[in-house]
Chain A
Amino acid sequence: GENVEQHPSTLSVQEGDSAVIKCTYSDSASNYFPWYKQELGKRPQLIIDIRSNVGEKKDQRIAVTLNKTAKHFSLHITETQPEDSAVYFCAALFSGGGADGLTFGKGTHLIIQP
């Protein structure tokens, strides 16, 4: 099955600075890579996703890059704000033998320092 590694586990940045979270995956057949944000005590929510036929995708202050050769993808948040504080999960879609599902990384706790 798929294995997704996520780093760092905790990231503290000054408000206004950029934050980068990195993930690697093991299954070269994976073709969909979403990022979820989970605020304290709440459910995970999709913030951005990228498919394997695209190298980069942006949505306002967030962007995701994908390097299929190296099997890694990253989340970039620019001009960080206090409301960006949350746990971020990367995921990769695995498939095989008719089974489908997302494998999540262990999460990154992003702390925005005022």
Chain B
Amino acid sequence: DSGVTQTPKHLITATGQRVTLRCSPRSGDLSVYWYQQSLDQGLQFLIQYYNGEERAKGNILERFSAQQFPDLHSELNLSSLELGDSALYFCASSGTPGRDGELFFGEGSRLTVL
């Protein structure tokens, strides 16, 4: 158990819909990262938050947004969903950004868009 909690574990929805994925980082970790993993693909970095503020942006679509709340949990919002958005979405947390810290991954949220 990494200490990072993601919900829901599985989600099936239709094209055009909007979903929210939730992540609770490890206790004490201030940094939250979101990654997308499509079938047979690597880990695509989407976005990073540190202590409530956006810290870095990767290949995140404009239809996607995220935020980190005062209690440090984070949500990834995916809207106007397309078939290609079907993927495993991982949240990860670490202690101190900019330092050589290990990333702790959650179990992932598997999104299927039909």
Contact = CB atoms under 8 A, between A and B. Distances in A.
Contacts of B98: 95, 100
Nearest to B59: A1
A42 B107 contact: yes
A114 interface: no
Given A99-B48, A100-B55, A103-B45, A43 B100 contact: no
Contacts of B90: 43-44
B79 to A, nearest CB: 23
Interface string A78-105: 0000000000010001010011111111
B9 to A, nearest CB: 11
Interface residues of B, number: 22
Given A44-B105, A46-B103, A49-B102, A101 B58 contact: yes
- Mostly, the B contact residues are loop
Contacts, number: 58
Given A100-B98, A101-B56, A102-B103, A43 B45 contact: no
Interface in B84-108: 90, 97-98, 100, 102-103, 105-108
B100 A101 contact: no
Interface string A17-52: 000000000000001101010000011111001010
B29 to A, nearest CB: 14
Interface in B18-46: 33, 35, 41-43, 45
Contacts of A105: 42
Contacts of A104: 35, 42-43, 45
Contacts of B35: 104
Interface of B: 2, 33, 35, 41-43, 45, 48, 55-58, 90, 97-98, 100, 102-103, 105-108
Given A101-B58, A101-B97, A105-B42, 4 more contacts: A46-B103, A100-B97, A100-B98, A102-B45
